[in-house]
Structure 1
Amino acid sequence: MLLRHHRGERVWSVLYEPTPEDEDARRTHRELGRLTQERTSHTNRISSLLVLHNLRPNVIIGGRDWARWWERHCEQVPPILRAEIERESARLTLVKQQVKAMEVERRQEMANGKQPLVAQLVLLRAIGPKGAWVLVKEVFGWRRFANRRELAGCLGLAPTPYASGSSQIEQGISKAGNKRARALLVEQAWSWLRWQPGSALTEWFNRRFAAGGKRMRRVGIVALARKLAIALWRYLQYGEIPAGASLKPAA
């Protein structure tokens, strides 16, 4: 079988692993995701502690007006709780600074032309820079797919039918692939319906699922996410713009 494989026959599935450079390139958006969750956690914690004393800020916690608001109301909070809130605020400030620094660095890389695939994806309406970055770094930037089935299997969007005798059951998608890219593609599918109303993908969804109930639309959006992933792969691999899709106007 090894000899047949080297002669070009397709006798098995080949596992492609990322290079150390490809693996390292995925650290940025993953760390940003964790920092964003941490920022939300600190904000919610401060808000919950303030509610204990019936304090509900009319400003953004950690924002530009937060220090002035806290200076006016900190005396209404017991001293130990006050110290805890101030420590939470300090950690929140640090997290926000790190997020801002990483986002600036990422924007500079794109502006300097160091991320051509990301820039190519961003040209499509409904695809933003953050989503394009994740899709390229997690899937499209280093994986090589021979067909759409390999792509769907990598994302966990492949069907898993079960058949035994006369019993045939469709068990839904496998969810065995890259969960970050899969979750993002579902979000991108909803965004695609909004920003690409004249595309063939949107018309297909409206024809098949839009008239159904909530459950049918949830099933349909996963199917649309799979079709969208294939369309984006063809767009990056072969330059095929998805049928009926529009590009963003030149700046």
Structure 2
Amino acid sequence: MKQKALDRTDQSYPIIVIQEAGLDGFWVHRVLQAQGHESHIVDAASIAVSRRRRRIKTDRLDGETLIRALLAFERGEPRVCSMLRVPSPDDEDRRRITRERMVLMQERIQHSNRIKGLLFSQGVTDYDPLRRGRRERFEAVRTGDGRDLPQHMKRQFDRDQGIGKSGNTRLRSTLLEMAWLWLRHQPGSALSRWFNERVAQNGGRFKKVMITALARKLIVALWKYVSAGVVIEGAIVRP
């Protein structure tokens, strides 16, 4: 683009880029700055929008709004918008971990409230699905009138707690990626040997099925390592 402008006008113009903060992170901003371009990331909520246009949202209108905000910002107009401070890559990673943890905690609360709501409909008010020993205590739970819980409700609560496609998609992807990384960096571990043996028995097929099974086993093994210090057999652990 700069070369085209130079060829047509014999003048070199700077390139100034503005973008809204979003899920893509800040890597585009870093690439643009590394190439010598001026880049800004704006908080979309800080841009004043006409009340009439609030009901209409298209890419063209959003682009025009960003251009007007950038021009006003470059002119030095106060309070026209709020530009974000770009964190370092390490800070961005730490923020992402914190955000993912908050999302998981919110989903955990939602599932807990849903279970409590289903039990409340049967007259059960003293069961906490987040306490230890909840599985054992669940077998003794009775409805408000002394009956066993309906079978369909028991099946709903007592289903497989593995990595299902109906669960958190981002968490599922992270766990599967972790399993692939484990195979790459811990090839001599017992879990990696188990995976390779099972895949070899099937002639190299069903890798996707087996990687899910490996992820389940890896979660349990890592939990034992974190909670009780049980090192995974054959794993290389840094001192």
Larger radius of gyration: 2
Q: Which has the higher helix share?
A: 1
Higher relative contact order (CA 8 A, sep 6+): 1
**TM-score range, shorter-chain basis?**
0.3 to 0.5
Q: TM-score, normalised by structure 2?
A: 0.42
